[in-house]
Amino acid sequence: MIVKEKSSLHASEQHVIGSHLQKLRQEKSLLLEDVNQATKVSLANLRAIEAMEYEKLPADTFTKGQIVLYAKFLGLDGVQVAKQFFIERNGGKEIGAFLKKQLPNHSLTPKQLAEPTHISSATIACLLLLLIVFSFTGFCLYTSWNPFAFVTNQTKSLSSSVMNTFHPANPATGNRTNPKNLNLNAHFLKDSQIMISLDNKESIRKVYSKGTNAHWKAEKQIHLEFSQPESADLQLNNMSLPFPQGDEGKYILQIPAAPPHVTP
C-alpha cells in the first residue's frame, strides 16, 4: 500500500537526495523489497538511487520515472525530488530545458519504468530464421527458381539410376554389362537338391541340408534348378535376390535372366 504523507522537498534544501530517501524509508520501517513490490522498480536501481551511484542507473528517462515513483510512494513530491537528484548529479546545475519540460508529463506506467525492455535470445533466433526464410523466398521469386522441382528431379534421377542398375531377375536388364564376377550366396531353409551350371559348363547335382550355406562364383553365367519352392535365401553380389518362380515343378534361376520368349 502506498504511504500518503503531505511533505515536500525544495531544491534549496541541502539534503543529498539518495540519503534523504533512504532515511525516510527507514523511518517508515520499510524495506527495499516493500518499495520494489509497490513500485516495480528493481532492487538494484533502488539501491543505486539511495547510494547516488549514477553509473549503475539506466538512461535518464527511466531513472527520472523511477525516482518519481519512489518519492511518491514515500509521500514526497516526486517531480521535485527527481529534479533535485539530477541537479546534485550535475554539480548543482539545472537539467536541460527539454528534460524539465518532459518530466512533469511523464506517462510511462510503473511496469514500463521498472526495467528497460530486453529481447531474449530465442526471439532473436526466431527473427533471424524469419529473415533467412524471407530472403530465400525473395531469391526464388526473383530468379524464378523452384527448389522443390529441383529436389523432385534429383529424386527421379536417382530412382531412375537405381531402377536401371543390373538385376539378374529382371529380363529388361539381362543384356546389360555384367559385373566382373557373379558371386551367388545361398542360405538353405530346407533340405534341397539342386542342379548347378556355371559359365555354361556341364550341370552337376548337389544336395544341401537345411541351415547350410553355399557359394558359387562365375564370370558370365549361373544356372540353378531347385527341387522345391522357397528353399533358400539368395544374394547376388551382396544384393538380395528373389527366389525363382515355379514352372512345371521346376524353380530355375538364370543369371543373367534369359530374354522373354516371344511367340511368332
Q: Report the CATH number at residue 78.
A: 1.10.260.40
CA distances in angstroms from 18 to 47, 86, 113, 125, 238, listed in the order given: 9, 11, 18, 41, 85
Domain boundary among 66, 97, 114: 114
24 and 104 housed in the same domain: yes
Cell of 218: 562365375
144 is a domain residue? no
pLDDT at 144 (0 to 100): 77
107 is a domain residue? yes
User: What average pLDDT does the segment 56-73 reach?
Assistant: 93
User: What average pLDDT does the segment 139-157 reach?
Assistant: 71
Dihedral sign from CA coordinates of 119, 121, 126, 129: positive
pLDDT at 5 (0 to 100): 47
For residue range 8-37, list pLDDT tens digits in order: 454 444 458 999 999 999 999 999 999 999
Residue 184: band (very low, low, confident or very high) from pLDDT cuts 50, 70, 90: confident
236 is a domain residue? yes
Percent helix / strand / coil, the chain, rounded to 5: 40, 15, 40
166 is a domain residue? no
What does pLDDT average to over the chain?
A: 77
Instruction: Report residue 236: phi and psi, to 5°.
Output: -115, 120
21 and 102 housed in the same domain: yes
pLDDT at 32 (0 to 100): 93
143 is a domain residue? no
250 is a domain residue? yes
User: What average pLDDT does the segment 232-255 reach?
Assistant: 86
With contact defined as beta carbons under 8 Å apart, do 84 and 67 qualify? Answer: no
Give the range of the structural domain holding residue 194, as residue numbers without chain letter: 171-255
In the chain, the number of structural domains is 2
183 and 103 housed in the same domain: no
